[in-house]
Structure 1
Amino acid sequence: MGSAVLPDRGVIKLTGEDAERFLQGLVTQDVAVATGAAAGFAALLTPQGKIVADFFIIALPEAAGGGLVLDVPLQLAGDLARKLTFYRLRAKVAIEDLSASLGVTALWDDTPAPEASLVVARDPRHAGLGRRAIGPRAEGRAADAAAYEALRISLGIPEGGKDFAYGDAFPHEVDMDQLAGVAFDKGCFVGQEVVSRMQHRGTARTRIVPVAFDGAPPPAGAEVTAGDKPVGTMGSGLPGRGLAKLRLDRIADAMAAGEPLVAGGIVLTPVRPDWARFAWPGDGQA
């Protein structure tokens, strides 16, 4: 069993009769997928289609006051609350940053939720990530947070601020289209035209993917090269395993030429994750 208090997560609450409709018109995922049992994974984008913030949408039960909560990176919570308030206009919705009092706990391998949890919802990105509990903010053990980080990396799941920079990445590049983060059949949302164009034209050549190597990981941010050509950037890593943002078309060329991928003097081997449905370098299969 496993659980970890995630100190780098914050919580924003939305209440009011227009809360669901208001969020529906802004974010990449259909808000209706957020139920008491499952979270929705979504992002707010710029009009140019780049990620301002990604987060989980969780419906609170009436016993906990109802409404929606957003499980969001703590460093972005204040700015995101202000951006949502800017978009509110005349919508009947109240937006509160409750990060000082509410926090997030990750639960996997059937670990019971803390008794004080307001709501517990399944992480929609991957079954191996288990569930996320929202409750009173608590202190956690660094070892538990490290165990969750190891689990995330082992499953090949990107995280903002570690594997990509907010404001500088498209949803396809960070695999949100693969990890239940974009609803292509919903109504309009901010940045939708760009995201839809990338989907239908298949122009997402850059992806964050798992990489394997021997020993300690290359430093985050290290340039990945094949021969003398840059092909990507290293993200988060642990001994033997990490994530890297790579140009998959250039990886295919490097494989055909027998050129290894190298970051910080360490040879990397791309590893196809079990959730990938896009064409993988070298096999041409979707």
Structure 2
Amino acid sequence: MALRLLSCKLSNISICSSLQILGRSHEFLRNVRQLHCVHRTDRGLLQVRGVDASSFLQGLITNDMNHLKEGALSMYAMVLNAQGRVLHDVIIYNNQEEVSPLDAVENYIIEIELKHIDRLERHLKMYRLRKKIDISVVENKKCWVLYDPEIDFGSMRQVDLECLYLNPKVDSKHALELTTNPDNSIIVRDPRMPYLGHKLLLPVGYEPHECVQELTNGTEDSFTSFRYKLGVAEGSQELPLGDVMPLEANVDFLHGISFHKGCYIGQELTARVFHTGVVRKRYLPLVFSSAPTDLIPAETSIVNSKGKTVGRMRAHCGLYGVALLRVAECLADASNLLVAGLPVSTFRPAWWPIEAPKQT
């Protein structure tokens, strides 16, 4: 049965109460075990700076720039084409510059897949027109992630679905004990969900070990497999350019979209699906009984026990993968799926909202 998005009841739930729920879901990060440290060599950074930076980005992304103007440290969002399909998934960091106590320069850093940083730069400059902004590649910072690979899924606390659709400002203040606070750096919790750990933008030549004690060096593959275990897709391999709808990519569950902010490129189809449509397919994690020895191509069909195609492979690493699946059909037959002749299973991620969207 199709998953139908639940309408927001703005009169019944306040922004304050939803923020309290989100805050409680972050508490476990204060008592993490030894964190793994990974340099994200596949991620790049763009800077958008100037008096019109916020209003410029507001018309190009799914989330609400007012969160950052009001003090949020970071924010997840997607850049869509005119047809409402995903071009890029991004994380936007607040890098405000205080010129004086009463004045500040709007300055935002956009994290994006490195191989498409030039494409996003061209996309932004195409819409710049007469906006008073500068757009440039950030060369003096590198992207790092600190995460706990041994997360207990049973301990995950979920938010209420209606609270998500109110799009509250996510508290991404870091919970790390820093031995030093490096200049020209940004350290925040991942704004998508706390289980993805902490994001660090550090000066070139500076490493997390210099400001956080007792870190274990991890690999990019280990973090990718961990991300797949959570069912989180990112980058053009997993979110093919111009092919995926943002709600299929769980942008609503990952605090990456506002349904109240007004117009932006691609907004019309996204709003129509939210208000009147259904989301039959979403990205879900895949679990292999043993790691595949050969690469399974993206778009490989995933079939259920009746031999019916119920989704498409996107990517895999180690024991885990991520796929775009028909949610109701796959969860009803979650342990009996096949991809490229290999047995595979899926499950409903524990971080998905408490109240599932209503079925029709």
Partner Cα separation in structure 2 for residue 187 and residue 147 of structure 1: 39
Q: What is the TM-score with the length of structure 1 in the denominator?
A: 0.86
Partner Cα separation in structure 2 for residue 139 and residue 245 of structure 1: 38
Query: Are 1:87 and 2:164 matched, yes or no?
Result: no
Unaligned segments of structure 1, at least 5 residues? none
Partner Cα separation in structure 2 for residue 7 and residue 188 of structure 1: 34
What residue number does 2:302 align with?
224
Kept in 1, the 8 Å contact 2:95–2:107? The answer is yes
What residue number does 2:186 align with?
119
Unaligned segments of structure 2, at least 5 residues? 1-34, 100-104, 149-175, 208-215
Kept in 1, the 8 Å contact 2:225–2:319? The answer is no
Partner Cα separation in structure 2 for residue 12 and residue 133 of structure 1: 15
Partner Cα separation in structure 1 for residue 218 and residue 335 of structure 2: 38
* Closer/same/farther in 2, CA of residues 48 and 150 from structure 1, 3 Å limit: same
Select 1:25's aligned residue among 54, 59, 63.
Answer: 59
Residues 23-56 of structure 1 deviation map (CA, whole Å, 9 limit, x = unaligned): 0121100112237663110111111100111101
Q: How does 1:95-106 map to 2 (within 5 A)?
A: 95-98=135-138, 100-106=139-145
Kept in 1, the 8 Å contact 2:186–2:200? The answer is yes
Query: Are 1:129 and 2:164 matched, yes or no?
Result: no
Residues 85-105 of structure 1 deviation map (CA, whole Å, 9 limit, x = unaligned): 11011111111122x443211
Partner Cα separation in structure 1 for residue 198 and residue 206 of structure 2: 19
Q: How does 1:6-17 map to 2 (within 5 A)?
A: 6-17=40-51
Per-residue deviation at 1:171? 0.3
* Closer/same/farther in 2, CA of residues 266 and 111 from structure 1, 3 Å limit: farther
Alignment partner of 1:273: what SS? coil
What residue number does 1:268 align with?
344
Partner Cα separation in structure 2 for residue 73 and residue 89 of structure 1: 25
* Closer/same/farther in 2, CA of residues 179 and 201 from structure 1, 3 Å limit: same
How many residues end up aligned between the 2 structures? 280
Partner Cα separation in structure 1 for residue 146 and residue 217 of structure 2: 15
* Closer/same/farther in 2, CA of residues 208 and 62 from structure 1, 3 Å limit: same
Percent identical across equivalent pairs? 30
Select 2:219's aligned residue among 134, 139, 144.
Answer: 144
* Closer/same/farther in 2, CA of residues 249 and 180 from structure 1, 3 Å limit: same
Alignment partner of 1:203: what SS? coil
Partner Cα separation in structure 2 for residue 142 and residue 237 of structure 1: 22
What residue number does 1:74 align with?
114
Kept in 1, the 8 Å contact 2:280–2:327? The answer is yes
What residue number does 2:281 align with?
206
- Aligned residue identity for 1:224: I
Alignment partner of 2:236: what SS? coil
Kept in 2, the 8 Å contact 1:236–1:242? The answer is yes
What residue number does 2:87 align with?
52
Kept in 1, the 8 Å contact 2:74–2:92? The answer is yes
Partner Cα separation in structure 1 for residue 46 and residue 247 of structure 2: 25
Kept in 2, the 8 Å contact 1:104–1:137? The answer is no
What residue number does 2:158 align with?
none
Kept in 1, the 8 Å contact 2:37–2:218? The answer is no
Kept in 2, the 8 Å contact 1:278–1:285? The answer is no
Partner Cα separation in structure 2 for residue 213 and residue 147 of structure 1: 15
Kept in 2, the 8 Å contact 1:15–1:94? The answer is yes
What residue number does 1:245 align with?
324
Q: What is the TM-score with the length of structure 2 in the denominator?
A: 0.69
Kept in 1, the 8 Å contact 2:302–2:310? The answer is yes
